[in-house]
């Protein structure tokens, strides 16, 4: 029996505390911002998180970040599944106005049920542990790693309060940040559990960079597929290649073309696909390659 207990799957021990942390942040919050990557609306939202927010009984807003990296027309189509569940606000760190719109949406949510009511509800809620949380309106910011949670907090407060970087896992622990006199924001590490084997999601969101991906080629193929489906022309222009009338699934020959175009060649003139894969992932994750 003892042995059986010791043999517990490592996944169990990793995932459960993550959900505990998320639950705690939601419970402390009066409103939750679910931050999503505009390029990958479906992949970067988490319906389990939304269910939990609803169960705990808090309103939330979909904050579709990095919207500068996506063509506006395409975005309208992508966010359709979100409509009707919660308000959807587009933001970008290239557009300061977008944070003002987000702030007015946050205030609108509160004006609907009033600050007093929030405070009364919290004082009576034994699960809300922080005294400061009881006295303020608290907005929890949640989302996958690297979607831009800390950037949004900096944008809302007009200050570089939180460290931002292109490396996933920048924020550690919970941080309380003042926004004006009566709103507190909670920045969180991107701890929404991902399936460990879900390399594509990790890679596309940028939650794992090229060096830490086990199979970068799978991710670069997924990026190409995304463009073949949504904006083939943009991909062709970016890499100055002609994909032609080839089968949509023939991502290998596309990678080969990129390698040749960039003169990524191995001995004997063989295209260096690995180098091309790395290039595509970096261009995508750093936001140079846009949908
Ligand atoms: N193009 C573009 N890049 C953005 C935007 N917002 C954030 N980024 C970039 O995305 C990367 C991640 O941003 P962070 O704010 O650190 O993301 P996070 O969700 O706090 O990440 P973790 O703390 O690691 O979970 C950084 O390189 C930012 O510069 C945006 O609106 N547009
Ligand atoms: Mg962060």
Output the CA 66–ligand 1 centroid distance in Å.
8
For ligand 2, a single-atom ion, which residues have Cβ within 5 Å? 149-150, 170-171
Q: Which of 235, 164, 167 is nearest to 206 (CA)?
A: 167
Q: What is the pLDDT of residues 33-85, one digit of tens each?
A: 999 999 999 889 999 999 999 999 899 999 999 999 998 888 888 899 999 99
Residue of the CA atom closest to atom 11 of ligand 1:
166
44 vs 48: CA distance, rounded Å:
12
Confidence of residue 9 (pLDDT cuts 50, 70, 90): very low
If one residue of 148, 174, 186, 291 were mutated to test the ligand 1 pocket, choosing by the most ligand atoms within 8 A of its CB, it would be 148
CA dist 110 and 107 (Å) reads 5
What pLDDT shows up at residue 134? 59
pLDDT at 136: 75
Instruction: Give the chain's domains with CATH numbers.
Output: 2-187 (3.40.50.300), 209-285 (1.10.1580)
- Residue from 15, 9, 16, 28 nearest 174 by CA: 28
Ligand 1 atom 4: residue of nearest CA: 66
Res. 165: pLDDT tops 80: yes
Q: Are 71 and 51 in contact (CB under 8 A)?
A: no
Closest atom of ligand 1 to 143 CA is: 19
Q: What is the pTM of this model?
A: 0.81
- Decide: 164 in ligand 1 pocket, CB within 6 A: yes
Shortest-distance Cα residue to atom 8 of ligand 1: 148
């Amino acid at each position: 029996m003892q042995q059986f207990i010791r043999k517990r799957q490592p996944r169990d021990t990793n995932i459960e505390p993550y959900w505990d942390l998320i639950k705690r942040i939601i419970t402390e919050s009066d409103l939750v911002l679910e931050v999503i990557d505009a390029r990958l609306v479906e992949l970067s939202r988490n319906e389990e998180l939304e269910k939990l927010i609803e169960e705990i009984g808090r309103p939330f807003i979909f904050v579709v970040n990095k919207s500068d990296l996506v063509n506006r027309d395409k975005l309208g189509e992508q966010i359709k599944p979100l409509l009707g569940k919660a308000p959807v606000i587009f933001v970008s760190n290239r557009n300061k106005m977008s944070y003002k719109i987000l702030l007015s949406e946050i205030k609108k949510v509160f004006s609907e049920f009033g600050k007093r009511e929030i405070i009364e509800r919290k004082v009576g809620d034994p699960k809300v542990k922080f005294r400061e949380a009881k006295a303020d309106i608290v907005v929890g910011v949640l989302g996958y790693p690297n979607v831009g949670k800390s950037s949004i907090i900096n944008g809302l407060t007009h200050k570089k309060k939180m460290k931002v970087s292109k490396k996933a896992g920048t924020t550690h622990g919970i941080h309380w940040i003042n926004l004006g006199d009566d709103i507190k924001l909670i920045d969180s590490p991107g701890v929404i559990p991902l399936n460990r084997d879900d390399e594509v999601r990790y890679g596309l969101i940028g939650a794992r960079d090229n060096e830490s991906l086990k199979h970068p080629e799978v991710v670069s193929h997924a990026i190409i597929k995304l463009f073949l489906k949504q904006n083939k022309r943009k991909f062709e222009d970016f890499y100055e290649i002609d994909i032609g009338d080839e089968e949509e699934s023939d991502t290998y020959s596309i990678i080969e073309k990129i390698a040749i175009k960039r003169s990524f060649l191995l001995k004997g003139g063989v295209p260096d696909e690995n180098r091309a894969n790395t290039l595509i992932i970096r261009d995508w994750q750093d936001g140079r390659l846009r949908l």
